[in-house]
Structure 1
Amino acid sequence: MDTLAIEGGKPLSGFIKPAGSRNSALKLIYAALFSSEEVVLENVPDVISIDEDLAVIRSIGAMAEWSGNNRLIISGAGISSYEVPQEIGSRYRTAMLIAGPLLYRFGKALLPKYLGEFSEQPYNRLLDTWESLGIKVIDTGDHFLLDGSEAKGGQIHFKIPSHIGTDNAILSSIFANGETEITNASEEGEVEDLINFCRLIGADISNPEPKKIKIKCASNFKGAKFLVQPDKIEIATFAILAILTQGNITIQGVNKTVVIPLVHLLDKMGAKFAFEGNDLKVWSNGEILSHVNVDITPTPGINSAWQSMVTLLLTQANGESFVHDTVTINGFGFVKDLNRMGARINLAKPTEVGLVPVISDELYDLEKMGEPLSVARVEGPTKLKGTRLEISDFRYGAVQVAAALAAEGKSEVSGIEKVAKYMECFIPKLESLGARIWKVQK
């Protein structure tokens, strides 16, 4: 496990081009399997987590090859099996998205259950969708065996918008006889990428109003070329780093629609930013930031992917702020490290601070399990001090590195490979902006 030394307190300045969205690319990889022609995906991040999804599709005979920087060529022509091997499929949570292409090609699919990190996440939204489409599911214990011989269009409604649930609903219905309507669907920008891509390869799919998707049966799918949108997590990370380090960073090629909630928050806090064409420029001259209360909600709100960086930013705001996470019940695992660095963040139950509990996990029994600690009370501004940090959870790696860059003095951060697995060239990009980072010799 590599350890990096990070010298904090240095302004980060310059230009950065965010990588393509990993969350968009991974679903497009599975959607490409509907076509037996070549599909070309541009701006795909070259990270280990993408290679893991490629291993899944190659395991059933699909072709997937890198062709130049961030260019991926995929074809489903060689798919020869409806069974995803246990040793591969059980390791990756997104492998369930292969169900649609296999049902389209074979009328059935055998999918291993996910046994990796976060394996406690429920399957209910996937199972409910398949049931709504007439797809029969047999739970064998280690696998789901799907029978799509009687698949047909149907009504799919999510009680709470679900990102991967919406992806699965789209991919499981674009070939089903009749018409499908998905309501209370996720509005994430990555879902918009999936809709546009499916339309490009031949799906009859429309998005007539927010949170509603309509699909008519299509039987033939062709090849296409598609550009993956920029990664919103990376955009938010560098935008907030510009403020935290009192720097000046221009983020190039931003999808404005996706970052509107973020820039609204920055504006409310009094941070400095400007759009220059499709570039987002964020800078700080040491302005006093206003405290705010933030609800973490599905898009079009401040989404859970930004929660940790927003919480870190609020440690530098003047006064008391509250972050109420209505999406995840355990999303503040990084707070203990920030507090060790000098932050003043206390976790609370919603009713303890006058808020109504909101639980997005439909299987969470509030009466039996009680209120989660889903609110962070953040007092600021506070001076952060460098310390030793270990990245044990990839979700918090970027915020730990960002805290080290914002802190006074030197920090040592181990486990950086967990970040590299999901964010392309994160450390080299930071170094290009002037960050002082070096490898600690053991």
Structure 2
Amino acid sequence: VHGMPVIDADVDYSPSEDPVEAMSLLAAAVVTESELTVRRVPIEFLEIELAVLEEMGLDHDRTPEYFADNGRTRLVDLTVRPSKLEAPIDKIHPMPFPGLNIDNVPFFAAIAASAQGQTLIHDWVYDNRAIYLTDLNRLGGRLQLLDPHRVLVEGPTRWRAAEMMCPPALRPAVVVLLAMMAAEGTSVLRNVYVINRGYEDLAERLNSIGAQIEIFRDI
């Protein structure tokens, strides 16, 4: 990249849609056994995730592809329905693009906990992030930490309400929130700064599609 001493030009550009936000909503639908349509999904960044979900038995439809406002990103509208999921044959692990996105790996902990059978999740990129996935055990999950990078998930799960602190890692924190949505009763998730750091108005957007999340401040 060669810079310029002065930039004097108008720039009109539209960034690509976020595949991790799309995966967050898909995981919310799967874990809560809901039908949901997610529009403007950047499909080229979620092909492997959807292939794994298809292997697990996810019932879904997608529209023909169309282009994003930037004229380059390929989008689809994706509808998922309540499904009887089975654990995948292979372990779930991230890989460089076009492989499974490292930020989407934690969502498969809650998805695997909703499926029949045992699923091995290998989060080899981040040290210790897999540890936070075991917070799902507070909500009724059956996750066994094999080492700082590997978790064995047993499903299906009957989620139960709990009061707990938010994990310090962003994606595991959202996974806990999604499991709370699936649990019967009232759960309390404290210290949600990490979620607010990574998502814009996530609670409000989830409420717009049927969740019941109340935001409060401890005094």
CA distance in 1: counterparts of 2:57 and 2:76, whole angstroms: 20
Q: Does 1:240 align with 2:51?
A: no
User: Structure 2: which amino acid aligns with 1:380?
Assistant: G
After TM superposition, the score normalised by the length of structure 1 is 0.43
CA distance in 2: counterparts of 1:37 and 1:345, whole angstroms: 53
Relative distance call for 1:412 and 1:228 in structure 2 (3 A) is same
CA drift at 1:224: 3.0
User: Structure 2: which amino acid aligns with 1:400?
Assistant: V
Given that residues 38 and 77 in structure 2 are in contact (C-alpha distance below 8 angstroms), is that contact kept between their aligned partners in structure 1?
yes
Relative distance call for 1:417 and 1:441 in structure 2 (3 A) is closer
CA distance in 2: counterparts of 1:250 and 1:309, whole angstroms: 18
Runs of 5+ in structure 1 lacking a partner?
A: 1-30, 39-221, 350-372
Runs of 5+ in structure 2 lacking a partner?
A: 65-74
Q: Does 1:313 align with 2:100?
A: no
The size of the alignment, in residue pairs, is 204
Q: Does 1:434 align with 2:210?
A: yes
CA drift at 1:305: 0.2
CA distance in 1: counterparts of 2:85 and 2:40, whole angstroms: 27
Name the residue aligned to 1:416.
192
User: Structure 2: which amino acid aligns with 1:243?
Assistant: V
Given that residues 390 and 414 in structure 1 are in contact (C-alpha distance below 8 angstroms), is that contact kept between their aligned partners in structure 2?
yes
Greater Rg over alpha carbons, structure: 1
Pick one of 65, 69, 86 that aligns with 1:290.
Answer: 86
Identity across the alignment (%): 22
What SS does structure 2 have at the residue aligned with 1:332?
Answer: helix
User: Structure 2: which amino acid aligns with 1:37?
Assistant: I
Name the residue aligned to 2:163.
388
CA drift at 1:243: 1.2
After TM superposition, the score normalised by the length of structure 2 is 0.84
* 1:51-77 CA-partner distances (Å, limit 9, x unpaired): xxxxxxxxxxxxxxxxxxxxxxxxxxx
Query: Bigger relative contact order, structure 1 or 2, given CA contacts below 8 A and separation 6+?
Result: 1
User: Structure 1: which amino acid aligns with 2:86?
Assistant: S
Relative distance call for 1:319 and 1:34 in structure 2 (3 A) is farther
Please tell me the root mean square deviation across aligned C-alpha atoms, in Å. Answer: 2.1
What SS does structure 2 have at the residue aligned with 1:421?
Answer: helix
CA distance in 2: counterparts of 1:295 and 1:414, whole angstroms: 29
Extract structure 1 runs of 4+ deviating beyond 4 A.
none
Relative distance call for 1:326 and 1:436 in structure 2 (3 A) is same
CA drift at 1:441: 6.7
CA drift at 1:334: 2.2
Name the residue aligned to 1:227.
14
Given that residues 132 and 169 in structure 2 are in contact (C-alpha distance below 8 angstroms), is that contact kept between their aligned partners in structure 1?
no
CA drift at 1:306: 0.7
CA distance in 1: counterparts of 2:212 and 2:23, whole angstroms: 21
CA distance in 2: counterparts of 1:36 and 1:318, whole angstroms: 60
Name the residue aligned to 1:188.
none
Given that residues 273 and 280 in structure 1 are in contact (C-alpha distance below 8 angstroms), is that contact kept between their aligned partners in structure 2?
no
